[in-house]
Structure 1
Amino acid sequence: MASSYPPAQLSSPAPAAVADEARQEGFELPAHTSSVARARAHLRSHLLRWGFPEDLGHTAQLVISEFVTNAVLHTDTGRIGCSIHLDGSRLRIEVTDEGTQTRAPQPRSAGPDEVNGRGLQLVGALAQRWGVSARDTRCGRVVWAELGTTG
């Protein structure tokens, strides 16, 4: 028997509600050096879709590049998980590895002639907060940073 009620009308949320809505995306990549650029591209795409300011997006891309690079070069992981959470005035970037290393990544002091070794110092200078957490499983860790969404 057919209903006599009119079909439900779908409506879009009010613009203010969309702006306040928390957003989250995640993706996985193989632990290859080419994945650093792919992680930046995925992040950029999501942030542009969400209307994130481009200049702050560049900072976010630098952070994810550093985290993915470290996972590729300094762990024995096969896969890297990336997730981004945009909630109000905060963007959280997380990179997860499956490595068996027990030592957390640490900023180090690079010499003036060294090419590498400054990435985590940059993250520390750009992020409101950053850190390393153990995963819920026996192996791997989550390296995360939180960026403010206002200049």
Structure 2
Amino acid sequence: MASPHDAPSLEHQHGALLARPLRDWFHLPALDTSVATARRRVLDRLREWRVDQESRDDAELLVSELFTNAVRHTTSDRVSCELWVIGVRLRVEVTDQGGGNRPVEPRVGNCPDADGESGRGLLLVSVLADDWGIRPECGDGGEKGHAVWAELPCARTLR
């Protein structure tokens, strides 16, 4: 069976050529080393889909922040990532299995300590993304995790 990223990205409908959504997903162990693997996977896929450099750079930061939060702030065994390009929109979604601390909203009014190690991740997500959110997610085993998603503009190149 072909994976979704192998499918052609254009289709004909009523004589018009339309962009078809592109989708990829993967699961990695909830380890610090998986953050770099997730970034590489997303960047490779976005290059394959001919997504422009600026969109790839923003997606790289989003994946890094969301994946890091899932690894550090939950007791998950694995973290999932889903990537969509739909027309001129790019959506990144990272899902954990739960446990540990609940995801926090970005700090409003209280700027994170410039030298601190936490508190800036979701603030960065809120600045980069046009829209983002957190929703509860139930896993296969009934565990209650969280899916954190972010959307941003996406341009594609012809070559």
TM-score range, shorter chain: 0.7 to 0.9
Normalised TM-score (structure 1): 0.83
Letter in structure 2 aligned against 1:31: A
Amino acid at match of 1:144: W
Q: Kindly tell me the number of residue pairs found equivalent between the two proteins.
A: 139
Amino acid at match of 1:47: L
1:46 maps to 45
CA gap of 1:14–1:113, structure 2 versus 1, over 3 A, is closer
Shift in Å, 1:19: 6.8
Q: Which has the larger radius of gyration?
A: 1
SS in 2 for 1:113: coil
Query: Superposition pairs for residues 2-151 of structure 1, below 5 Å?
Result: 20-101=19-100, 103-108=102-107, 109-137=111-139, 138-150=143-155
Query: What's the offset of the Cα at 1:107?
Result: 1.2
Q: Deviations over 1:58-96 (max 9, x none)?
A: 100000000000011110101000000110011110000
Structure in which a larger fraction of residues adopt strand? 2
Report the alpha carbon displacement of residue 113 of structure 1 after superposing the two structures with TM. Answer: 3.0
Distance, in Å, in 2 between the alignment partners of 1:133 and 1:15 is: 31
* Mapped partners of 1:148, 1:45: distance in 2: 18
Q: Quote the offset at 1:22 in angstroms.
A: 0.6
Aligned-residue sequence identity (percent) comes to 38
Q: How far apart are residue 15 of structure 1 and its match?
A: 6.3
CA distance in 2, matches of 1:62, 1:142: 17
What TM-score, normalized to structure 2?
Answer: 0.79
Distance of aligned partners of 1:130 and 1:14 in 2 relative to their CA distance in 1, 3 Å threshold: closer
Flag structure 1 segments of 5+ consecutive residues without an equivalent.
1-12
After superposing on structure 2, the runs of 4+ consecutive aligned residues of structure 1 that deviate more than 6 Å are: 13-16
Instruction: Give the CA deviation at 1:105.
Output: 2.5
Q: Gapped runs of 5+ residues in structure 2?
A: 1-7
